[in-house]
Structure 1
Amino acid sequence: MKIEPKHVVSLTYDLYVDNDGTEALTESATQEQPLTFLYGAGQMLPKFEENLSTLSTGDEYDFRLSAEDAYGEYDEEAVANLPKEMFSGTDIPEIGTIIPLQDNNGNRFQGQVVSVAEDAVIVDLNHPMAGQELHFKGSILNVRPATEEELSHGHAHGPDGHHHH
């Protein structure tokens, strides 16, 4: 079956990211644990879906997304100084820790602690893959029309369309 909006796609992928001139495998989805998503629902990177748009069940793919089409260029400005009072009652996170944050509008996002100063924790708010070209390789395992429930919820409920309890 061909991939179309309102269809649920299950696929495998290997994601390679350039690491000092060599491509390093960063993430994978396997046949046992595929990535399953509702196509066209805005959950995936738009250019990722665009690259899959001509494919059908059983097809293999191999494409690259520029940083711009993936998680954006690295933004030197996207660094926050969090006052240490924010962490009162808990330990100050170590450098390299990813911490969940929320902005004034209630949007949740993650930041990585880059340094700890005397009165503040400095957090990089860039996506871990910002500024990276992404190289995806994989195959389409299954394509099926989404169920009414999936369409109303706006996301896939697993490869076969049912919740797992």
Structure 2
Amino acid sequence: MNINSNTVVSITYELHTTTPEGQQVFVEKANEEQPLVFLYGVGMMLPKFEEHLAGLTAGDEYSFELSAADGYGEIDATAHVDLPISMFAEAGPDLPNVGDVIPLQDNQGNQFRAGVTGVHEEHISVDLNHPMAGKNLIFAGKVLTVREATADELSHGHAHGADGHSGHE
């Protein structure tokens, strides 16, 4: 079976980025024991990532690079804000440190993460760019399985594991 809309795909992958000098840097991986399993074509994955997998079948190997624009976007120099120190009072006496990634929520309830770039007396400075913004993404891996999505998976909008039942017994 080929990867296409409404199929559940199980893959391995290694993800690398590159330094400005051109050296590859390992980011993360999914192996056969803990593969990435997802419902193809419902917007869960980066669109260009899915495009590169379209039509592949179990056993196929793949390797491709996504530009920053096709991944998590270019770095937005204006995506920096200062948050009042009072926002962090509920977390206790320990303030975040420079380099920490903190969870935030917007007025519509959307959750996201921000990188702490400065800790000051009156505010905490954060970078709202995705941690992978501005980076090309280099993927290599193998398609393990491809199957039709179940009706439950399609109605829920996500895969229920490689077998279609994980976490929904």
- Map Cα deviations across residues 38-75 of structure 1 (whole Å, 9 max, x no partner): 00010000000001112111100000000000000001
The aligned residue for residue 72 of structure 2 is: 71
The aligned residue for residue 160 of structure 2 is: 157
The aligned residue for residue 27 of structure 2 is: 26
Task: Indicate yes or no: 2:95 matched with 1:92.
Answer: yes
Flag structure 2 segments of 5+ consecutive residues without an equivalent: none
Task: Indicate yes or no: 2:16 matched with 1:16.
Answer: yes
SS of residue paired to 2:68: coil
Runs of 4+ in 1 over 4 A off after TM superposition: none
Alignment root-mean-square deviation, CA: 1.1
CA distance in 2: counterparts of 1:80 and 1:106, whole angstroms? 18
Amino acid at match of 1:12: T
Task: Indicate yes or no: 2:127 matched with 1:144.
Answer: no
Displacement of 1:139 after TM fit?
A: 0.5
CA distance in 2: counterparts of 1:18 and 1:118, whole angstroms? 36
Amino acid at match of 1:11: I
Flag structure 1 segments of 5+ consecutive residues without an equivalent: none
The aligned residue for residue 133 of structure 1 is: 136
Please identify, of 66-75 and 90-99, the stretch whose mean Cα deviation from structure 2 is larger: 90-99
Number of aligned positions between the proteins: 165
CA distance in 2: counterparts of 1:11 and 1:49, whole angstroms? 12
